[in-house]
Structure 1
Amino acid sequence: MKLLHLAAAVLNQTPLDWHGNASRILKAVRSARAQRATVLCLPELCITGYGCEDAFLSSNTCQRAWATLQKLLPETRGLIVAFGLPVLHQNAVFNCVALAVDGRLLGLVAKRHLAGDGLHYEPRWFKAWPVQKRDIHITPEGESIPIGDLLFDVGGIRIGFEICEDAWVAQRPGVLLAAHGADLILNPSASHFAFGKTEIRKRFVLEGSRAFGVSYIYANLVGNEAGRAIYDGDAMIASGGRLIAEGPRFTFEECRVTTATVDVELTRLMQARTASHRPSLITDQHLLVSSPFLWPDISLADAPPPPTLSDWEHQPRQKHEEFSRAAALGLFDYMRKSRSRGFIVSLSGGADSAAISCLVALMVEFAVDELGVDRFVQILSSPGWKLDILSDGNHRKLVRQLLTTAYQSTDNSGPVTKQAAFDIAEALGAHHYELDVSAIHQAYVSTIEHALGRQLEWKTDDIALQNIQARVRSPGIWMLANINGALLLSTSNRSEAAVGYATMDGDTSGGLAPIAGIDKAWLREWLSWMETEGPLIGSQTFAIPTLRAVNVQQPTAELRPPDQAQTDENDLMPYPLLDAIERAAIRDKQGPMDVFKIMRVQFPDIEAAQLGEWTDRFFRLWSRNQWKRERYAPSFHYDDENLDPKTWCRWPILSGGFEIELAELRNYLSQNPAL
């Protein structure tokens, strides 16, 4: 029996925050040491932060990262620690892991497979390291360090790496590492959160440990690191196909270390028993880097109990729970890292603004539940501004200090939405204002009528009369944000973004759009769940029954006169259909004709002519409104199908607008009236 005590750390890092990132790494190293771990895997690019973007191409970034590594090396005496950082080598930047052994640098492993899809752009900054190639890196101190596709023999234990994307591809480095007798595979990752993604990670960690006959350590980032991507942590340690330890996800702590004890002899025997295992006995031995190391003697009595998953991980509505926690953690980090003093929401009494307000309240509930009131206040307070620690048990007083809402009425606003906004704000504990902007609205209309020499009419000036109402709400809500030093949250959702059903400089105003990646139909489902059940916090669920005032309404912009009974779906199409068309057209890249045929199967109860009209409407609105998506506030990513043009979904601002394709669809419908 040869026991090793392993550790995986999740860190809440910030790009280019040299002192902060180093202090959190140091905290992880010391925590691992305190828990008697010998091997510690830190996340990918943990020294610089993963989201440095084009700063990776700055010599200053690589130089400071290296200098930080040198300062941290003495802290690794008696330990084996994997640090992530960019390395400039042979006039190319590589995404590397530096393996430190007992206070000295043993070598640099460079990432073989770069993430270049979805919201990842690693090939823009890094070069992929070729398979089974090794070179010598000359450090700024003049030392010669091996770099490349390496395997380490440390005191008789062989350690290899799969760096994030390396484990997601078919030709995983683990295949060669196993052939060379690897005992441990470390996976430093920066794997952003997406709905259900943790199950995929768990599969490749478990399968890697089983198929390669190794113990596997997976370490990830946590929190909102750079503004858009949210990381859920998800540290895992597996051995021989069994998950031994798994850390909590969505932690509000800046550092969490998960440990486990493994038996190396068991995994070695597992390789020996596997008929398909073919050891590489002679070739590529130049890739092996050896170092003496005195491994501590560990008994089973020293093994800590494995951490247990949070109770919410076992709840039936996993997507609802994940969204609640991801958004709450994203808001928490965005607020403190942007040095904002709370949030401002233009609370219309509708679904979108109500959902965002609830997410702010959930941020308080989740964070206080984990951190406690004192630490919560300490983390969010800034020089010249400090939260009042007093809380009444359900933290409404904390919410009041962090969330300001305002209902801004015009002549077309109704009593139902006004009351709903008031009730939601009251239930959450928000500081709520009721602002009448009808005089400002009418002043703009009168000014333009005077300039044009005619009266504006709904029949001829519909869009202009709607948009001016949305826009007159922007200056006041921005003014409140400036006065409070707070962050204005934009209320646009993904369904509206797809078709441009939003007023630029109106309801799109804000510095952050936390639900711009969420479909309207699913958001309404989440609000219904929040009304009756809600997420699990501690041992109790957190429901907001007052949301019924919002959930019973049909979504409406409420910009036309009341007698026109305006609703969003009358202006556009049913939201479930809109969302299905968007996925087929944008995610799956199908043309109008194919989208129509797919929708015909998915929505057989909709008449073909009507379905064709709505399909036509989607493509026309999508094409003409890319300029709006370009101007949306930064949004959180909750899946890999976001419409954010700065990350996932690039589209030309000017295009042919599917003119020929839509003409073909209309012709097809006219020739097939019996569809």
Structure 2
Amino acid sequence: MHYFNRGNSQQQDPQDSRAVPLVTVSTCNLNQWALDFDGNLERVERSIRLAKEAGARYRLGPELELSGYGCEDHFLEADTLTHCDDSLATILKGDATYGILCDIGLPVMHAGVRYNCRAFCLDGKILLLRPKLFMADDGNYRESRHFTSWKRANEVEDHVLSIALQDATGQFSVPFGHGAVAATDTVVATETCEELWTPRSPHIEQSLAGVEITGNGSASHHELRKLDTRVSYMLAATRKCGGVYLYANQQGCDGGRLYFDGCALIVCNGKLLAQGSQFSAADVEVVTATVNLDDVRAYRAACASRSDQSSRGARPALPLIRAGGAATAAAAAALPAAGALGGGAQPQSFRLATDGATYATHPPTVPTTLKLHTPEEECALGPACWLWDYLRRSRAAGFFLPLSGGADSSSTAVIVGVMCHLVVEAAERGDRQVASDVRRIAGMSSGDPLPSAQALANSLMHTAYMGTANSGAATRRRAAALAGQIGACHSALDIDAAVAAVVGVFRALTGNTPRFASRGGSETEDLALQNIQARLRMVFAYLLAQLLPWARGRPGFLLVLGSANVDESLRGYMTKYDCSSADLNPIGAISKVDLKRMLSWAAERYGWDSLTEIGAAPPTAELRPMEEGADDGGEHSQLDEDDMGMTYEELSHFGRLRKVGLCGPVSMFRSLVALWPALAPSAVAAKVKLFFYFYGVNRHKMTTLTPAYHAEAYSPDDNRFDLRPFLYNMRWPRQFRDIDAMAGDMEAGLAAQAQQQQQQQLKSD
């Protein structure tokens, strides 16, 4: 074994009491994919190999890494569990787990019950199957639909392995339950994702029981401004309990709306030692650190109150499974007579401290500073990585985007442009998988030089400005300028002939010709004429997505991208089945406020100066005729915020209070009266009632909402995240009546207070 001497750097005998116990550990980000069992297995094995090459003796992987986290109801199928058993058997039959304790995530059927488990493996054997204690069942998660939580803390029992695992390991049964693994020099245990977030997290009792290294295999999705909270929980855990804490995460699109944002971490005694990337095109990223276990022991011993709590112990005690093959007395009663590892040969006595004959010497890792992206960077980088995974895994030839020259469609274009920069940079850094995917999508041979980001965008990004007589010259010009700077293959077409044809068919059917309101028509006619333009753009988008590759002499199809932001979806300010209907919507859960900040960031970061003008332009749908005398080269007179009757900033407040704050109409009114003191209560009441009216009227549109990248906690996507009705009584009679009564009482009270102050002022004068 290899140690550092306290007095000098010479190698010491392991039994020397002066030797320092240095332990090298690894965690990882893995880009797993639901049901991609072969691909998931390859990435798991690669991460173990990289961890061993880095000198690690403990490797932690993400939650459910063998199956992929997002299998959803496929977890109910026996096939999924069988394939995962086969994958684990493949790992154990090879030499991957020799000399390294591997903590692997997979689903397990135990006693006829499905559990989300961690498998501790060493030297081709399974030491312990540790089921998840607390399920994630809110927000995007429905884990209890697929798994059962283990209800017996600090208890283990016998689990009979599948035939595949028996053949691979020579074991008949293994311990199953809430235990820990004891090496000869330290104790290792685990948490799984949600368990870190619960008030009574397992790591607390585990640390008091002597666990020094805790792993958390997770599948945690990206949400704007969330990472800081996640990291703070880990830092707080080790700051309070002492010890080493490793965090592994999936990173990428697992097959759904969520992007798992990696950021594997290693912390010790409240300090960050190592951090992986949050947004990356890499399939496998391993993060390694070396820690001095004496530092953990000294840190813990210095806290008298912790020592007092630890001395009381837990009943029953935390079972310890010996990495050398025997269970401790605490676990022996719960295990079969054959021992903790069942039949077959047992691993040799195992130390976590690195062996100098096998691994390079590693000095202790120096604490580092946490790297956090700004929200505008998150808005660009997260959806860009999500789109890249979707593109390469769908085997599509690229994307098609109706580019209007406004902030929303320009944001979608920017995200694709950022994606091109990310993947080209990753390929140039030597990532062979990314380079192979880039060449394949760009239609290049394996020996061709890598394209530039702009050349890649020209190959895979197709945009079109679909104008009508109501479109402004300014938006047409801005769309062309942005497409040119990003490198997209851009075109412009006028769809007036198609609009006229549809109106002509209606006229032939009914004898009536609808007119815009500004030209003497009714509101019904006006809205119908706007919707014709919007829906025809969707028809042309799919036509172009199918045929543009053919027209350019290339195979394949394009994925149609949408560009409706979260606030417009929440308000229902969109035409059902218009160009917001698409295959994917990377900005569907991002607010207009954040999108405009992202445009400013991208303008500076990539030199796309056309975004400055786009971000400053007032949002407009350009579906009505310009007002008489309007400047054809200027901004359109139809403005989104005027049409909606509320600002985008107000919509963000409504959305967060509705979803995150769990407010109905009345409680939202009460919150906003306090938040907006400059407005009269009746004015706040009018805004709240207007929002809920249109929210109720347009809720049905959410049932057809394009699958969107999940970024904001108030996304109205009812298909996965926002489980609410889509048919409402849009009058909200009792709610609005109560709001009006409360507003009246408040204003009467304010008036009385003002009168009293006036009278007091007169007396004082």
Find the aligned partners of 1:491 and 1:405 in 2 and give their Cα distance.
13
Equivalence map 1:644-659=2 (5 Å): 644-657=717-730, 658-659=732-733
Find the aligned partners of 2:137 and 2:69 in 1 and give their Cα distance.
14
Aligned-residue identity in percent = 30
Equivalence map 1:148-187=2 (5 Å): 148-187=177-216
One-letter amino acid of the counterpart of residue 19, structure 1 = D
Deviation per residue, 1:33-69 (Å, 9 max, x gap): 1111110001110000011101111111011101110
Deviation per residue, 1:500-542 (Å, 9 max, x gap): 11112212221111101011232223223333x2xxxxxxx32
8 Å contact from structure 2 (residues 702, 718) kept in 1: yes
In the TM superposition, structure 1's runs of 4+ consecutive aligned residues that sit over 6 Å from their partners are 307-311, 670-675
- Give 1:372's match in structure 2, choosing from 412, 416, 428: 428
One-letter amino acid of the counterpart of residue 618, structure 1 = F
How far 1:390 moved relative to its partner? 5.8
What residue number does 2:590 align with? 518
Specify the SS of the correspondent of 1:562.
coil
Q: Which moved more, 1:230-239 or 1:54-63?
A: 230-239
- Give 2:736's match in structure 1, choosing from 651, 662, 668: 662
Q: 1:301 to 1:385 in 2, by over 3 A?
A: closer
What residue number does 2:715 align with? 642
Deviation per residue, 1:67-118 (Å, 9 max, x gap): 1101111321111001100001122110100000122111100010111111
How far 1:301 moved relative to its partner? 7.5
8 Å contact from structure 1 (residues 253, 371) kept in 2: no
Find the aligned partners of 2:600 and 2:686 in 1 and give their Cα distance.
30
What residue number does 2:491 align with? 433
| 2:578 pairs with 1:506 | yes
Specify the SS of the correspondent of 1:515.
coil
One-letter amino acid of the counterpart of residue 21, structure 1 = N
Q: 1:319 to 1:663 in 2, by over 3 A?
A: same
8 Å contact from structure 2 (residues 150, 177) kept in 1: yes
What residue number does 1:551 align with? 615
8 Å contact from structure 1 (residues 377, 386) kept in 2: no
Q: 1:137 to 1:272 in 2, by over 3 A?
A: same
RMSD (Å), alpha carbons: 2.5
| 2:237 pairs with 1:208 | yes
Q: 1:282 to 1:465 in 2, by over 3 A?
A: closer
One-letter amino acid of the counterpart of residue 123, structure 2 = D
Deviation per residue, 1:162-205 (Å, 9 max, x gap): 11111111111112212221121111111111223222222222
8 Å contact from structure 1 (residues 18, 68) kept in 2: yes
Equivalence map 1:144-293=2 (5 Å): 144-275=173-304, 276-277=306-307, 278-279=310-311, 283-285=315-317, 287-292=319-324, 293=349
How far 1:383 moved relative to its partner? 8.8
Specify the SS of the correspondent of 1:646.
coil
Find the aligned partners of 2:740 and 2:513 in 1 and give their Cα distance.
37
Q: 1:192 to 1:633 in 2, by over 3 A?
A: same
8 Å contact from structure 2 (residues 58, 101) kept in 1: yes
8 Å contact from structure 2 (residues 35, 67) kept in 1: yes
- Give 2:162's match in structure 1, choosing from 120, 140, 144: 140
Q: 1:418 to 1:343 in 2, by over 3 A?
A: same
Deviation per residue, 1:423-481 (Å, 9 max, x gap): 11111111001111100001111211222222212232121111011011112111121
| 2:330 pairs with 1:330 | no
Find the aligned partners of 1:64 and 1:651 in 2 and give their Cα distance.
36
8 Å contact from structure 1 (residues 387, 398) kept in 2: no
How far 1:271 moved relative to its partner? 2.8
What residue number does 2:600 align with? 528
8 Å contact from structure 2 (residues 218, 247) kept in 1: yes
Q: 1:391 to 1:239 in 2, by over 3 A?
A: closer
Specify the SS of the correspondent of 2:627.
helix
Find the aligned partners of 1:304 and 1:421 in 2 and give their Cα distance.
54
- TM-score relative to the length of structure 1: 0.93
What residue number does 1:45 align with? 64
Structure of higher CA gyration radius: 2
Find the aligned partners of 2:44 and 2:311 in 1 and give their Cα distance.
36
Q: 1:179 to 1:429 in 2, by over 3 A?
A: same
Number of aligned residues: 663
Q: 1:271 to 1:673 in 2, by over 3 A?
A: closer
One-letter amino acid of the counterpart of residue 535, structure 2 = R
How far 1:280 moved relative to its partner? 5.9
How far 1:668 moved relative to its partner? 5.2
What residue number does 1:357 align with? 413
How far 1:598 moved relative to its partner? 3.0
8 Å contact from structure 1 (residues 76, 101) kept in 2: yes
Q: Which moved more, 1:269-278 or 1:476-485?
A: 269-278
8 Å contact from structure 1 (residues 51, 225) kept in 2: yes
- Give 1:119's match in structure 2, choosing from 140, 157, 169: 140
- Give 2:128's match in structure 1, choosing from 91, 107, 122: 107
Q: 1:286 to 1:502 in 2, by over 3 A?
A: closer
8 Å contact from structure 1 (residues 258, 307) kept in 2: no
Specify the SS of the correspondent of 2:70.
coil
Find the aligned partners of 2:366 and 2:294 in 1 and give their Cα distance.
24
Find the aligned partners of 2:543 and 2:566 in 1 and give their Cα distance.
26
| 2:666 pairs with 1:593 | yes
| 2:710 pairs with 1:618 | no
Q: 1:549 to 1:86 in 2, by over 3 A?
A: same
One-letter amino acid of the counterpart of residue 461, structure 2 = L
What residue number does 1:16 align with? 35
How far 1:614 moved relative to its partner? 2.8
8 Å contact from structure 2 (residues 109, 115) kept in 1: yes
8 Å contact from structure 1 (residues 95, 110) kept in 2: yes
Q: Which moved more, 1:1-10 or 1:605-614?
A: 605-614
Find the aligned partners of 2:383 and 2:368 in 1 and give their Cα distance.
20
Specify the SS of the correspondent of 1:52.
helix
Q: Which moved more, 1:77-86 or 1:294-303?
A: 294-303
| 2:26 pairs with 1:7 | yes
8 Å contact from structure 1 (residues 259, 304) kept in 2: no
One-letter amino acid of the counterpart of residue 320, structure 2 = L
8 Å contact from structure 2 (residues 569, 716) kept in 1: yes
8 Å contact from structure 1 (residues 343, 487) kept in 2: yes
One-letter amino acid of the counterpart of residue 714, structure 2 = E
Specify the SS of the correspondent of 2:69.
coil
Find the aligned partners of 2:131 and 2:484 in 1 and give their Cα distance.
54
